[in-house]
Structures are given as C-alpha cells and as structure tokens.
Amino acid sequence: MTDAVTADRAAASSSPAPRTGPVGVGVVGAGVISDQYLGNLTQFPDLRVLFIADLDEQRAAAQAEKWGVPGSGSVEELLAHDDVEIVVNLTIPAAHVEVALAAVAAGKHVWGEKPYALDRESGERLLAAAQEAGVRVAVAPDTFLGAGLQTALRVVRQGDIGAPLTGLALFQVPGPESWHPSPEFLFAHGAGPMFDVGPYYLTTLVQVFGPVAKVTATSSKARETRVIGSGPKAGTEFPVEVPTHVSALLQFESGASAQAVFSFDSKLARAGFVEIAGTEGTAVFPDPNMFDGDTLVHAGGDEPTVVPATGSTFTRGTGVAELAQAIRGGRRERVPGELAFHVLDVMVSLAESAERDESVVVASTLEPTPELPEDWDPSVATLS
C-alpha cells in the first residue's frame, strides 16, 4: 500500500461524521427582537438553542434565564461552542456583515436579520466567504414561509389569476418616531422605510415575478430632524440621514412590472398592501410583514373569493427551522443568501436611481424558491 493511499485513508477515517439530530443554535443579540425569535426557536424540536451572546453579557444572561437557554456570554464564547451550528444574528444593521463573517470564519451557518448588508460589496464578500467555507448564509425576511404568503403564492403559481403581469406594493405610515422609544437607528444609514421595511415587500414581489432586471426611482426627505414622541427620550430631536419616501418602478426579467411606495411621511397609514394583477384576475396578498392572513381573489364578480391561509402560523425564526432541516437533508434552503443579496441589490439600485435621476440595471439574479408543503409544521420533529 502506497504512502499516499495510507494518508488518504487516514484522513478519511479522521474526518468528522455528518451530524444528525436537532441542530444547535446560538443567538447573537439579546435586544427586543430576540424575544420574538426565542419564543419560537425554543419551541421547535429540530433546534436546540444553546447559547445567547451580547455585548452586554448581563442582558444575554437575563435572556438565557428567561428562555431556559443553558449558556450565555460573549460572541467569542458563542463562536467557540462546538455544538452551535447556526448563528442567529440579531445585531443592528451596521454590524450584520461583521458578525456574519466572524461566524462563517468559525465554520458556522448563519441566519441573519434584514437587511442582509448595507452595500453590494460587503454582501458579495459574505456570500463568497460562505461558499469558500462550505456553510450557508440565510437572511430574513422569512415571512413568505408563513401560511399567509405561502397560500397567496400558491394561488398565483397555480394560475388562479392567469399569468401575473403587474404588482402594486404600498407601505405608507407617519413614521416610527411617534411610538418607538429609540427610533434614531430607523432614520440612519442602512434604514429608512426602504431598507427597514422594503425587504418584506420586495422579497414577496420577487417570489411572484422572479428577479428584477431594472429599476427607476425617486426619493425625498420630509424634514431634516424628527422628535421622539414616547418613552424616556420623548421630546429628543435627532437627525434624519436617509430619504423617508421612495417611489419605485420595478421591471422584471420576465417582462412583468410593479410599482412600490415606501414612506415614513404619510399621515394616512396604508401598510401591508401587495396586489398582483394577472390576465384572468387580481390577487390581494396579506401583509408581507406578517405570517398569516387570507388572500382575496378578484375575478370579475361583485365580491372577491376569500382563500383562507393554509400552513404554519409561527412567526420569526420559522426560516431558522427550515434552514436546519435543509442542512440535515443536504438540500437548498428556501431563504438563501442569494435571495437576500438580490433584494439588497434592488434596494441599492433604487437608491442610486433616485440619486442619479436615471434608471439602473440590476446585475444580480436568482431563482424564486418553491413553496413549502401545505402541511409543513416547524413544531413537528423531523430530525432524529
């Protein structure tokens, strides 16, 4: 037997066996949104939440105690935890890529909150690093895995409105400073109505029509400062760094088109609205920022047909469970990093279009992901 063959066999015998059973999860970021995630992640039998990390380690410890998580501490301790396979990244937008890159370098898969990144370059760097490391990077929103949007997507994909041609998406609110106790970050670089809320609407439109080919946009800022309206900082004035109203025209590779408005400047709230018109009818989707809700199909009669939502109504963290099952099953996850990067590319292109006063071609592309089985339920154990 040659030395080379002996070495190959020794390497093969020493390589770790594929993992089985529930997937270990560590959460980075113990802020307000972590409660929404942990309330679900700790219920899903295909996951084991093992560690919570935060710059404020006392806050991490409090969340760990609250949700029955065995470990807490620093990000470094979390990344050194051998049994943590997925890092759930709930940090502020400006830290998303930094934390995700550290997790990838530690050999961990990543589930991140939106936005995926703040610019194309860092988003591309993260995708490349994950591919080189052989790990997966999935990013919210996972709302389209919920019963509401899954049902709406089935309605369109099975031809109930004919071929989808056009879309309309509206998110118009007065702005979160009236109710949020610390809204400054929502008006800072990387946020605003488009980057903060746009991913829900744009991901939904991409799932219907496929990848965006070109965008045209205008934007505006109602005022240079805003005032916090509630909580301990009420009355505090803070700067507005980004446009607070964006009007967008999207052209898709398929030839379809859509209009979208993302605004913090409207006293008349019209949020959660996505309408898809096809050759044979029009579908009104449930709120793309939610996981439930019926679909209305208008096909020419006096009243629309109500299609009740069918599927899982679990909320944030649903995508983490689906990612874990995909990892164990050796298949592609339904919320891949490529989807999040394309949506980021669309948002950056919209910002560039508004700034330059010209249309911008979107270079990235993707394939929409298939629907979940109607009986898929993250509260049911599938990994033994």
Residue pLDDT, tens place only, 12-69 = 334 456 788 999 999 999 998 999 999 999 999 999 999 999 999 999 999 999 999 9
Is pLDDT at 315 greater than 70 in this prediction?
A: yes
* Per-residue pLDDT, 16: 55
pLDDT 10s digits, 75-108: 999 999 999 999 999 998 889 999 999 999 999 9
Tokens, residue 278: 């096809």
Tell me how far apart the alpha carbons of residues 229 and 240 are, in angstroms, rounded to a whole number.
15
Asked if the domains at 11-139 and 146-299+337-361 fall in one CATH topology, the answer is: no
* Per-residue pLDDT, 384: 78
| Among 101-105, 184-188, 201-205, 343-347, the least confident range | 184-188
Tell me how far apart the alpha carbons of residues 242 and 80 are, in angstroms, rounded to a whole number.
37
Is pLDDT at 251 greater than 80 in this prediction?
A: yes
Amino acid identity for residue 60 in this structure = A
Residue 12 or residue 352, greater confidence: 352
* Per-residue pLDDT, 6: 42
Contact yes or no for 347/332 (Cβ under 8 A): no
Architecture of the domain made up of 11-139: 3-Layer(aba) Sandwich (3.40)
State the angle between helix axes of 32-41 and 57-67 in degrees (0 to 180), rounded to the nearest 10. Answer: 30
- Of 18, 58, 61, 68, which Cα lies nearest the Cα of 38? 68
Paired residues of 259 in beta bridges: 168, 249
Per-residue pLDDT band for 185 (boundaries 50, 70, 90) equals: confident
Contact yes or no for 123/97 (Cβ under 8 A): yes
Tell me how far apart the alpha carbons of residues 105 and 110 are, in angstroms, rounded to a whole number.
11
Is pLDDT at 320 greater than 90 in this prediction?
A: yes
* Per-residue pLDDT, 190: 81
Read off the pLDDT of each residue in 196-205 and give the average, rounded to a whole number. Answer: 96
- Of 87, 81, 82, which Cα lies nearest the Cα of 99? 87
Whole-model pTM: value is: 0.91
pLDDT 10s digits, 324-340: 999 999 999 999 999 99
Q: Domain coordinates of the chain in residue numbers?
A: 11-139, 146-299+337-361
Contact yes or no for 292/315 (Cβ under 8 A): no
- Of 238, 283, 239, which Cα lies nearest the Cα of 148? 283
Q: Please report the sign of the dihedral spanned by the C-alpha atoms of residue 158, residue 161, residue 164, residue 168.
A: negative
Q: What's the chain's average pLDDT?
A: 93
Three-state DSSP state, 237: strand
Read off the pLDDT of each residue in 348-371 and give the average, rounded to a whole number. Answer: 96
Q: In the block, which residue shows the tokens 């396979």?
A: 85
CATH 3.30.200.20 assigned to 146-299+337-361:
no
- Of 178, 211, 171, which Cα lies nearest the Cα of 195? 171
